Amino acid sequence: MGQGLKTVKGTRDLLPAETGIWAAVEAVARRVFASYGFGEIRTPVLESTELFVRGVGESTDIVGKEMYTFADKKGRSVTLRPESTAAVARAFIEHGMASWPSPVRLFYLGPQFRYERPQRGRYRQFHQLGAEVLGDEGPTSDAEVLLLLLRFLGELGFRDLEVLLNTVGDAASRQAYGEALRAYLEPYRDRLGEDSRRRLVSNPLRILDTKVPAERELLADAPALGDCLSPAARDHFDELRRLLDRFAIGYCLDDRLVRGLDYYTKTVFEIVSGELGAQNAVCGGGRYDRLISDLGGPEVPGIGFAIGLDRLVDILPQKFRQRAAGGQPVVVAALGEVAPEHAIAAAEALRGAGVAAVAELVSRSVKATLKRADKKGARHVVLIGEEEVEAGVVTWKDLSRGEQRRLAIAVLPAEIGGA
Ligand code: AMP
């Protein structure tokens, strides 16, 4: 290998100690999402740049600053996906899903790419787990998506994550609000930075995303979007809130929450955790009633969310971590003069009975074997010394209980299952 070759800035390797936990989280996601009737979609990592420019919006940070965009060998502009909702919408149109039984419920899982300044919880390649309901405009879908999300997080053991909720209204509300915001900010034009001055013309709502303290101060007295809602958007939000109460979903109203993507309409939400530091959002989502038609498809509304898996795993409750790590294979060791094939034979017997096992191929002392097994996080160890070979048994040690017994390998799977 060349000297000093390393991962690209903002990307990282996930090694077995972590991937085991990721796989356990993903397994829960697959089970819970399937229980709500969601099917998996896998879209390409590479899409045409135009998809995100049209879908996510030209004036957003993602499209304006953060995309990995390059020309392929034929000079076509392609982009490593920075998010997946636009890709799911493209697939919906491309595969004529409007003719499928409605609503279409899809989930996805995979890497996303954004050229952001790396810091804790923020990578240039990160991973999202997301779900989309396409084809229903009623608030019941919004409520169901939140139920799914909270059930999933609940099964991972999260208890005190905060749900922030807002509405950005429909097209009419946004238009009215954009004008009100522009009228309010125009006299302060000189106090706005270059980005916000540009947005004042192109897309005033985006200014609400600003991180510049002086601009945030200005915005404190700005008109609220809630005051510009059309009656239809207001009804949608009221009904959603009634449903959330009905299903005992707690949330905080946050009228500054607009989310960094242009396609949202009506409901928007975020889930934040105090444990994450500056990058505190674990999940973001909302309704996008015009995305599919904006991309050239039929008028099909949608709602969905994306969970940042890197951040989720970072704050995963300890209990879930331990349970996920507890699934380490049984360590089988042949001791002293005993040939390693005895260890392989015992491990094969366990695997044949559906128990994961790894045979130690180098003969070791009991002490060294137990130490290594403990380091690997294994719970069960099988030791085979000369006496065991003669008696046709093995010695089984359950490290978590500190117990040991001699028994025939054939009965071990049942014992481990009950342990
Ligand atoms: P968004 O697509 O911006 O709504 O993001 C949804 C979720 O993805 C966020 O709440 C984060 O948890 C996660 N996320 C977004 N950007 C990054 C990043 N650069 N690194 C890690 N996670 C991210």
Pocket of ligand 1 (CB under 6 A): 83, 114, 116, 121-123, 126, 128, 260, 281-284, 306, 308, 310-311
CA angle 263, 266, 272 (to 5 degrees): 80
Tens digit of each residue's pLDDT (9 = 90 or more) over 145-183? 999 999 999 999 998 889 999 999 988 888 889 999 999
Q: Where are the beta strands (DSSP E) in 288-409?
A: 302-308, 330-335, 357-364, 380-384, 394-398, 403-407
Please list the residues that pair with 128 across neighbouring strands.
110, 308
- Cα(116) to centroid(ligand 1), Å: 11
pTM metric for this prediction: 0.86
| 45 DSSP assignment | S
* Closest ligand 1 atom, residue 83 Cα: 2
Q: What is the average pLDDT score of the chain? A: 93
Q: Which of 412, 371, 419 is nearest to 388 (CA)?
A: 412
Contact 312, 338 (CB under 8 A): no
Cα separations (Å) of 161 from 33, 196, 286?
19, 31, 18
pLDDT tens readout for residues 215-234: 999 998 899 888 889 999 99
pLDDT of 3 over the 80 cut: no
Tell me the pLDDT tens digit for each residue of 236-282: 999 999 999 999 999 999 988 877 677 889 999 999 998 888 888 99
Tens-place pLDDT, residues 367-395: 999 999 988 888 999 999 999 999 999 99
* pLDDT (0 to 100) of residue 418: 61
CA atoms within 13 A on the CB side of 19: 5
Report whether pLDDT(349) > 70. yes
pLDDT, residue 148, reads 97
What angle (nearest 5°) sits at the alpha carbon of residue 215, between those of residues 288 and 218? 100
Of the given ranges (6-15, 26-35, 137-146, 180-189), which has the lowest mean pLDDT?
180-189
Write down the pLDDT at residue 210: 85
If we measure between CA atoms, which residue out of 44, 68, 41, 64 comes closest to residue 53? 64
Residue 346 has pLDDT above 60, yes or no: yes
Over residues 69-88, mean pLDDT: 98
- If you measure from the C-alpha of residue 308 to the centroid of ligand 1, how many angstroms do you get, rounded to a whole number? 5
